[in-house]
Amino acid sequence: MIRVVAKGRLKPGVRVEDYVILAKELVAETRKEKGCLSYALHEEINDPAILTMIEEWVNEEALEQHNQSVHVLKIVPELRKLRESIEVNIYREVN
């Protein structure tokens, strides 16, 4: 199993609601993908300008297919415009 933690900080002045609207569309479409085990947006409790997507995939191939999907190629560039930074970490479970 593969886990992805994508933590982003919104640009100053960006409304959280504007980001969330786009992110929810991405979440809804991604959850339909084969190989997606979990995909959810999380808001930092102490700083709502920090939003993190936590994902679980059956394998790296499923994640690669996700990254090339139509909805990712359409929505992620729009989300990128609203963020000042992003940190993406990809994990493999240790047995």
Do the beta carbons of residue 8 and residue 94 sit within 8 Å? Answer: no
- The predicted-structure confidence for 22-34, as pLDDT tens digits, reads as follows 999 999 999 999 9
Report which residue type is found at 10: L
Model confidence, pTM: 0.91
- The predicted-structure confidence for 34-46, as pLDDT tens digits, reads as follows 999 999 999 999 9
CB burial string 63-86: b at 16+ within 10 A, e below: bebbeebebbeebbeebeebeeee
The yes-or-no verdict on residue 93 having pLDDT over 90 is no
> Containing H/E element for 66?
helix 60-67
- The predicted-structure confidence for 35-89, as pLDDT tens digits, reads as follows 999 999 999 999 999 999 999 999 999 999 999 999 999 999 999 999 999 999 9
Give the span between the Cα atoms of 41 and 10, in whole angstroms.
14
Is 2-92 in CATH node 3.30.450.40? Answer: no
